[in-house]
Amino acid sequence: MTSLIPAGQPAATPSAAPVKQAPPCTLVIFGAGGDLTKRLLMPSLYDLATARRLDDGFKVHGVDLAQQDTDAWRKSLTDTMQSFTTDKTAEFYVPKINDESWKWVTDRLSYQVGDFSQDETFAGIKAAIGDGSAIFYCAVAARFFGTVVDGLGKAGLLQQTDGMFRRVVIEKPFGSDLPSAQALNARILQHAEESQFYRIDHFLGKDTVQSIMAVRFGNGMFEPTWRREYIDHIEITAAETVGVEGRGKFYEPTGALRDMVPNHMFTLLSMVAMEPPIAYDAEAVRSEKAKLMQAIRPLTPADAVRGQYTAGAEFGKPVPGYREEPNVAPDSRTETYVALRLHIDTWQWAGVPFYIRTGKRLSGRKTEISVHYKPAPYRVFGAAATTPNVLRLLIDPEEGIDVQFAAKRPGPEMALGRVVSSMRYKDYFDERPNVGYETLLYDCMLGDGTLFQRADAIEASWAALEPVLESWSKGEGEVESYGAGSSGPAGADTLLAADGRTWTKLVD
């Protein structure tokens, strides 16, 4: 039996309910010295340790080219963790690191210098993990995903026996188009079963994203109207105020569409538009997501608008344009903003347009889904009195739900006014530090693939975007300019105006 409280961690209060611990395993991190490991994976392991979700037998084995030993790696990670206590803008912020919890994690670290393309690297990993269960995390550039899995397969590290599991976590982007995604799937599936691969999208680790399913399928008041007869259109927005933040080398061949749409944006799309699953289990949920992705009508170039930010001001401070960023070509055509109009060819959503936009250096930071309902079929109080009914699912930075509707203004006349009913998660639930990876790592240890992407869903998402990507690869279409600190290119407004609609404002 596994212990409920790992050694060296704070004891639970008498009223605390026992928590389910993940089974013992070794987490092998390829790219142990990288930014993802420092900023997201280690804070997540710290949170899981603090919550007593990890077994005493849990270990972390880091692999990277950087010439250092375990003590140096441990110190580097500790320094980064401590830096989070002084930066309230960090994705992970706590005023103080719990020394006992962090020591519990660092006591279980080991480090190996290794080249992902060399057989001896995988021989060293095999010796480190022995015959126990293991999760192999590809926290590396996408070009190494296939190389790492090839090495694992060749070394026999993906073979499973009764009571012992071997799983691989692969980060996004999974491919850069449909052919590359298909090729990568075919390559990795030569070495292991589909059930052993966990294609991760940290958006799905956020409680507010998971709550979309809870709101839809856990209540009786929403789902009956969640269809074409009642909904006019749906907007999905992921707007950032930051630029590429020194990632020009990565961003140049990638762009906003590849970076955000087939993963983050389509993740939100699937949560808001999928059919109800028959049960909340991995295959039922993932099958519904895959069906939704397969039902997206392939986009045409006329359904897409792309833009690139120019020099401007953000919060009153001057900022450079994209082409002035480090490692960006002076004549770059890479988009930092994309707006899409798409249709889902199902009985439930026929005729309902979905509008997606995401970009950098915009006027406001906002991730949300806005569900716009059709007006009442007969306007008793006249057209002028109509207030659009909008349900807003707020994901970041606010976390909650807003419902906009009409109510009578005080006074003797029947005059209607716009009102908003708001719910914020922090008003009802305890806030906990969360970078989005805690739930995903924990679920992977448990073997629960509900929140991970399946091969067929990923390929279907790329298939929907393929006509646009092919057109852009030929140099077709305009890359519009938009000033940093604005709401985006004018073409995005035109895209909706053609349908008689407008975007929700980025800044309320």
Per the CB < 8 A criterion, the answer to whether 65 and 113 are in contact is yes
Q: Which of 350, 359, 356, 328 is nearest to 489 (CA)?
A: 359
What beta strand segments (E) does 200-268 contain? 231-239
> In angstroms, how far is CA 221 from the centroid of its own chain?
27
Distance between CA atoms of residues 167 and 133, nearest Å: 9
End-to-end CA distance of the chain: 53
Tokens of 485: 């600190």
Which token pair is 419?
A: 């009102």
- In sequence order, what are the residues at sequence separation of 6 or more whose Cβ sits closer than 8 angstroms to the Cβ of residue 341? 299, 303, 304, 353, 354, 355, 495, 496, 499
CA separation, residue 253 to residues 258, 332, 333 (Å): 9, 10, 10
Are the beta carbons of 317 and 241 closer than 8 angstroms? no
Residues β-bridged to residue 30 = 63, 138
- Give yes or no: 264 in active site: yes
Q: What sections of 118-217 are H helices per DSSP?
A: 119-129, 145-154, 178-188, 207-217
Coil/strand/helix, residue 198? strand
The tokens for 248 are 């020009």
Catalytic residue among 61, 202, 264, 372: 264
* Token pair belonging to 355: 């509008």
User: How far is Cα 230 from Cα 42, in angstroms, rounded to an integer?
Assistant: 45
Identify whether the C-beta of residue 324 lies closer than 8 Å to the C-beta of residue 359. Answer: no
Catalytic positions, written as ranges: 264
